[in-house]
Amino acid sequence: MNTAFVVDSTGTLSQDLLDQDNIYELTLSTTFPDGTTYTDTRDDKKTIEFYETMTASKDLPTTSQPSPQQYSEILDDIKAKGYEHVIFILLSSKISGALQSAKVVAEDYADDFHTYFIDSKGTSLLIENLVEQGMTLLDEGLDHQTVCDKLRWVAEQTDIFVVVEDLKNLVKGGRLSKGESLMGNLLRIKPILIIDKNGEVKPYEKVRTLNKALKRMEDIVDEKMKLFDGKAKICFAHANREKKVAKEIEKLQVKYPNTSFRSDFLTVILGTHSGEGAIGVGVIPYASKD
């Protein structure tokens, strides 16, 4: 395959994918006021350590985009290896400026290869899934523009839902007032957020108690699976709630025994905004090959 893929580290790509020569990753990081820095990592112990540090911290860490040097180093390597096509698949442009930065840096390589940009309209395992589908469609002989159009369709069809367990990070991040947080905690409110088809994070519903919120998430999965006629993959990402997610998947596997499931941690960048305990789910449709 004479095509390179460039993703960002919030995509939580499996190690098998990352080990492939044509997969490149831009790494994001987050820094606490005392200077302690964590980068997105596949090391679960480091990720758990980050969540414990963040929960104990009075202030949120500050997230940062990939440096221009990271983009240039990756594109230099792609050029040196002779790739003819480069597909960027990055987190929502409404969440980060990473996609716009990629477009700016790539202008310097316009004569070296064809470049395509996919706004995932989301993040996390959606990015991994788009890479997987893109590689499959290219292997089946579809041209690059058609493949990218199909991947954009997948991105636009996939809503990501996140139930927030701890409201403190929403307060620290300015998405919720202290008064709203106090009332929410008293009433045991667990907000469900959506990363919608435009890639924007918005309130979706407010549900009392975590168990009811998770039940609502199961209902949403049912709605989406019906919409896609079962031709979809169900992905969960969590902020240090591996056991809870495993139970959710176990329940859904009874309903959808022939469906592929995937779960992993929300990376430190995403966890900075969601707070520890958040659980996200996305039902990702498969692009048709026709």
Cα separation, 61 vs 53, whole angstroms: 10
First to last CA, the chain: 21
Cα separation, 243 vs 109, whole angstroms: 45
pLDDT band at 136 (very low <50, low <70, confident <90, very high): very high
Say what the pTM is.
0.93
Tokens of 256: 């959808």
**Average pLDDT in the 113-140 region?**
97
Query: What CATH number is attached to the domain comprising 20?
Result: 3.40.50.10440
Residue 203 phi, psi dihedral angles, 5° rounding: -65, 140
pLDDT of res. 184 = 46
Domain assignment present for 281 = yes
Same domain as 204, residue 143: no
Domain assignment present for 44 = no
**Average pLDDT in the 250-271 region?**
96
Domain count for the chain, please give it.
2
b/e sequence 8-22, b meaning 16+ C-beta within 10 Å: bbbbbbeeebeeeeb
Same domain as 104, residue 169: no
pLDDT of res. 188 = 64
Question: Which pLDDT tens digit goes with each residue over 95-112?
Answer: 899 999 999 999 999 999
In a 3-state reduction of DSSP, which class is residue 21? coil
Domain assignment present for 260 = yes
User: Is there a contact between 262 and 133 (Cβ–Cβ < 8 Å)?
Assistant: no
Same domain as 229, residue 92: no
Question: Which pLDDT tens digit goes with each residue over 18-32?
Answer: 999 999 999 999 999
> Above 60 in pLDDT, residue 177?
no
Same domain as 151, residue 11: yes
Tokens of 192: 């469900």
The mean predicted confidence, pLDDT, of the chain is: 91
Sign (positive or negative) of CA dihedral 126, 128, 133, 138: positive
DSSP assignment of 23-61: EEEE--EEE-TTS-EEE--S-HHHHHHHHHHHHH-SSPP
Query: What CATH number is attached to the domain comprising 216?
Result: 3.30.1180.10
> Above 90 in pLDDT, residue 283?
yes
pLDDT of res. 140 = 95
Domain with 89 in it: 3-28+65-157
Domain assignment present for 50 = no
User: Is there a contact between 274 and 239 (Cβ–Cβ < 8 Å)?
Assistant: yes
Same domain as 226, residue 169: yes
> How would you classify residue 141: left for phi > 0, otherwise alpha for psi between -120 and 50, otherwise beta?
left
Same domain as 94, residue 81: yes
- Alpha-carbon Rg for the chain, nearest whole angstrom, is 19
Which of 55-59, 73-77, 218-222 comes out lowest in average pLDDT?
55-59
> Above 70 in pLDDT, residue 172?
no
Cα separation, 190 vs 279, whole angstroms: 11
Greater pLDDT, 174 or 284: 284
The torsion of the CA quartet 256, 251, 192, 216, rounded to 10 degrees, works out to 80
Give the closest residue to 220 by CA, choosing from 207, 201, 238: 207
Question: In this structure, what DSSP letter does residue 145 have?
Answer: H
